[in-house]
Amino acid sequence: MVLALVRRRPKQLAIAALIVVLAIVPFLGNAYYTSVLIIIGINAMVAVGLCLLMGYTGQVSLGHAAFYGLGAYISAVLSRTYHVNPWLAMLAAVVATTAFAFAVGFPIFRLRGNYLAMATLGLGIILWILFREVDSITGGPSGLSGVPYLSIAGFNFSSDFRFYYLVWGFCIAIMVISESIVASRMGRAMRAVHGSESAAQSLGVNAAVVKVKVLALSAAYAAVAGSLFTYYLTFVSPQPFDFLFSVQLVVMAVVGGLASIWGAVFGAGAIRVLSEVLHPFGELDVVVFGLLLMVVMILTPQGLVRGIADLWHRFVSVRLAPTR
């Protein structure tokens, strides 16, 4: 019976297993695992948004760290400097970042392909420079410390244990929302824009609006993630929002298999774990990253998740084939 379940519902089973494992990890008592998984959850939210934008809608963004950073800074500045309630600050950060994405989306999506990549790259760099240089608001290169913790009615999300569940709660909510969007009319429109913009338009899809909406949604996800990141560290500085992080986000989405929500989460996990493992290599970890990305793209161009799923299917069909 178990085998039948494995054969028929591998995806659902894998998801259930993942949730169970995620729920158990903090109880292992290993603070390091918990903290790494918190960062993975935060990165995964951004990667899921990027996956909607790149994988489903086919629009490149090399500047997503900008939205992530904008969310982080708005939350930090409002809650620390202006003593706004951290939740309200987070809400404001999400609304403002989404509005910002709408505003830049219309001009930026007049561009396509390489030019779009360059423009988003430029956007990322401009915001990163602003984070560093507008000292009076952002605290410059040394950043802002003393950002308050998130709390609900006196319950502080100050320990890793508590924050872990908060982050993964948000992350799973984002994944569920994204899955339902992908399966909806909007999701079909997104994939149509990816396939052929002119064909999509002659079917009645307003491609420009679809692209901007998806950008805004992914910016909102990034702002949620950025805010949580700030409240987790109770500190914000420009360094995590640089160009390299934008590239890393793209790598996460690609490694996970661009058109897969769960893949993006898996990709975020794989890349984060990898960079922890590669820590001893110091500066050379970038080289190893590049090599790994090449190997993944050559061996499993559909991404790691699909590659593993294919292997699994082969295994299941050989070993678990029903006997006649």
Partner 1 sequence: MILKVDHVSVAYGKLRAVWDVSLSVDSGEIVTLIGANGAGKTSLLNSISGLIPARKGAVYLGEQNIVGQKAHRLAKLGVGYVTEGRGIFSSLSVLDNLSLGAYSRHNGWTTLLGDVSWFMRRKDIRDRVDYVYGLFPRLAQRQRQKAGSLSGGEQQMLAIGRCLMASPKVMLLDEPSLGLAPNVVMEIFGLLKRLRAEGMAILLVEQDAAASLRIADRGYVIEMGRIVFEGTASYLINQDKVKQAYLGQVWRGDHQTPAQEEAES
Binding flag, residue 195, partner 1 (CB under 8 A): yes
Q: Is the dihedral of CA 173, 20, 276, 179 positive or negative?
A: negative
- The per-residue b/e assignment along 71-102, b for 16 or more CB within 10 angstroms, e otherwise, is bbbbbbbbbbeeebebeebbbbbbebbbebbe
The distance of closest approach from Cβ of residue 200 to partner 1 in the complex, given in angstroms and rounded to an integer, is 8
Measured CA to CA in angstroms, residue 278 lies from 247, 281, 298 at distances of: 17, 5, 21
Is there binding between residue 77 and partner 1 (CB under 8 A)?
A: no
Q: Which of 161, 188, 239, 274 binds partner 1 (CB under 8 A)?
A: 188
Q: How far, in Å, CA of 281 to CA of 300, rounded?
A: 26
Q: Which is nearer to partner 1, 185 or 279 (CB)?
A: 185
How far are the Cα atoms of 86, 121, 154, 275 from residue 64, in angstroms, in the given order?
A: 23, 9, 34, 19
Q: Mask of contacts with partner 1, 149-178, x by CB under 8 A?
A: ----------------------------x-
Taking residues 97 to 116 in sequence order and writing x for each that binds partner 1 by CB under 8 A, - otherwise, the string is --------------------
Best CA proximity match to 132, nearest among 247, 239, 225, 244: 239
Q: Rule CB under 8 A: choose which of 198, 279, 321, 324 binds partner 1.
A: 198
**Cβ proximity to partner 1, 20 vs 95, nearer residue:** 95
* Rounded Cα gap, residues 290 and 41, in angstroms: 23
Q: How many CB atoms lie within 10 A of CB 131?
A: 26
- Least spacing, CB of residue 12 vs partner 1, in Å: 19
Q: Which stretch binds partner 1 (CB under 8 A): 41-49, 74-82, 132-140, 193-201?
A: 193-201
Asked if 306 interacts with partner 1 (CB under 8 A), we say no
Least separation in angstroms between residue 207's CB and partner 1 is: 7
Instruction: Please tell me whether residue 184 binds partner 1 under the rule CB under 8 A.
Output: yes
Q: Please state, in angstroms and as integers, the Cα–Cα distance from residue 134 to each residue in 76, 137, 184, 246, 300, following that order.
A: 14, 6, 42, 21, 43
Does 189 interact with partner 1 (rule: CB under 8 A)?
A: yes
Binding site for partner 1 (CB under 8 A): 177, 180-181, 184-186, 188-189, 191-192, 195-196, 198-207, 259
